[in-house]
Amino acid sequence: MNMTPSPTQGAASRRRRPSTWCWVSLLAALLGLPVSNSGAAEVDPAEDSGILTPPAPATPRLQGPRVTGVRKGSPFLHRVPATGERPMTFSAVGLPAGLGLDPKTGIITGRVDQEGTSVVTLTAVNAQGRDSRTLRIVVGTTLALTPPMGWNSWYIHYDRVSDRIMREAADQMVATGMADYGYEYVNIDDCWMVKVDSKDPELGGEVRDADGRLRPNRRFPDMRAMTEYIHARGLKAGLYTSPGPKTCAGFAGSYGHEALDARTFADWGFDFLKYDWCSYTEKAGGKELEHMVKPYRLIWSELQKQSRDIVHNLCQYGMADVWTWGGTVGNCWRTTGDLGLENAGRLPAFYSIGLSNARHAEHAKPGGWNDPDYILIGWVGNAHKMGEGTRTTLTPLEQYSYMSMWSLMAAPLIFSGDMARLDAFTLNILCNHEVIDLNQDPLGRQARIVRKSEQELVMVKELEDGSRGIGLFNLGEAPASVKVSWAEAGLSGGRYAIRDVWRQKDLVESESGFESRIGRHGVRLVRVRAAGRP
């Protein structure tokens, strides 16, 4: 039970100049890699930057979700995620009647009038080669058959968000390649409406028009044009409101106007709604379960009446055990308070939020996901001050742990840092197709914790093909070994092949389990399959 160093590691250490040994050793310790007696670190040269995700090949590689849901008659929009050299030509066999694929962009659009499941074979071809794989399109009643992936404006733009920022974010999602990995939602958070009683000429004014329709503030001159812009790139648009009279930042909410607001959001072309409790406490009339569920049931029933699909994201911070009923009125539900406001203790905030969220694993399923809040890496603003962005203070290893945990927990993968300042390291965290595959696995199971102490955490996620995603986390302050046995992972006796998911490399085979040395607050993320299986 040991991890095998990559075949290139010995050569890499021989090539390394002595002057670099010191920092390389330090990096190796951070990454939890073995350090040889001579002091030379056995580090793959590509890992010097801390980047573990191998670059995508020039040949086409189809990736992202393997299943997607749509309601009968609703507009369907799916940009086939694929990496590889452009131009690329896309084709599809087995599309249900009513859908068509643009061969140049790989964007599938249309409407389907009959319920049922189609197994579509997608193919992408470029000058270097081709790739094919299947996508199941389920025309039925359930949306978000895999956890939503995208970006949300909150943690970088706060009350500065605008139409221009949202359009740029859509462009950046395509330009950075995030869309090629399955990121698709471009979501405005709070502060797009009129701010109640504000004297600011851009934010203030009449909250609703003469017909009672909610008015965007002056930074959003034309919502419909904005969603069309986002849709034209094959992406989807989201927005935010509150069941209370005011949002958490003091902007106009939907209280008393739910039916009209749901219709307005659909007319504008939105595909995702975050519904944030905020000032609803003053209207709830009690703290019993029925009071907690009521506003979410109301907006859910209004969303069902619309002629387009709108994913419903409940945000009420985990009150009244929302994980036990959120799936009856929505597609994902925040299980905790705001990650950006969480006080980090010895461990960074994502660990405490993630561990709370992990307790509700049994409630996650296709169409209904526990939501531990956004991925706050790269450039992010200080939520306490709604401030400008600064670079995350999380170490590289902590960022690998963050993304690994969110993937294992089948959490919505919503990045909320600055799309304009995405660097290579941040993109390596967000865009590793094997890590994302764990998150998007169609079985829709959330990892369960099989071991947890002050020093270590082991999470195991069951996957559709019978394999397991396993995260070994070192919660301690120094490098340490963490192990898992196949029995703990729920695997029956036999020989299993272990693949390092971040590095996309096969490691050893074992009949008993796996052990790895891991740096401070870091992770080893592996996928374990019966040996001899693809």
Residue 276 engages ligand GAL in binding (rule: CB under 6 A)? yes
Stretch that binds ligand GAL, among 124-132, 165-173, 243-251, 356-364 (CB under 6 A): 243-251
Nearer to ligand GAL, 163 or 190 (CB): 190
Nearer to ligand GAL, 9 or 247 (CB): 247
Residue 247 engages ligand GAL in binding (rule: CB under 6 A)? yes
Contact 228, 269 (CB under 8 A): yes
State the pairing for strand pair 67-71/129-140: parallel
Nearer to ligand GAL, 190 or 462 (CB): 190
Q: How far is the CB of 84 from ligand GAL (least distance, A)?
A: 35
Residue 303 engages ligand GAL in binding (rule: CB under 6 A)? no
Identify the residue among 180, 338, 418, 437 touching ligand GAL (CB under 6 A).
Answer: 338
Q: How far is the CB of 336 from ligand GAL (least distance, A)?
A: 9
Q: State the Cα torsion 398-403-408-413 to the nearest 10°.
A: 150
Helix and strand totals (H; E) in the chain: 13, 27
* CA 191/CA 529 separation, integer angstroms: 47
Closest alpha carbon to 470 in 530, 405, 525: 525
The residue count for binding ligand GAL (CB under 6 A) is: 10
Buried b / exposed e along 383-408 (16+ C-beta atoms within 10 A) = beebeebeebebbbbbbbbbbbbbbb
Identify the residue among 144, 315, 436, 491 touching ligand GAL (CB under 6 A).
Answer: 315
Q: State the Cα torsion 279-287-272-444 to the nearest 10°.
A: 150
Q: How far is the CB of 301 from ligand GAL (least distance, A)?
A: 23
Q: For residues 166-205, which are near ligand GAL according to CB under 6 A?
A: 189-190
Contact 464, 472 (CB under 8 A): no
Q: Establish whether the linkage from the previous residue to 87 is cis, with ω within 30° of 0.
A: yes
Tokens 């006796």 found at: 493
Residue 131 engages ligand GAL in binding (rule: CB under 6 A)? no
For the annotated catalytic residues, the residue numbers are 276, 338
Residue 358 engages ligand GAL in binding (rule: CB under 6 A)? no
Nearer to ligand GAL, 277 or 473 (CB): 277
| Helical spans, DSSP H, in 285-423 | 289-304, 326-329, 349-358, 396-408
Stretch that binds ligand GAL, among 246-254, 300-308, 474-482, 494-502 (CB under 6 A): 246-254
Q: How far is the CB of 485 from ligand GAL (least distance, A)?
A: 38
- Which spans of this chain sit near ligand GAL (rule: CB under 6 A)? 154, 189-190, 247-249, 276, 278, 315, 338
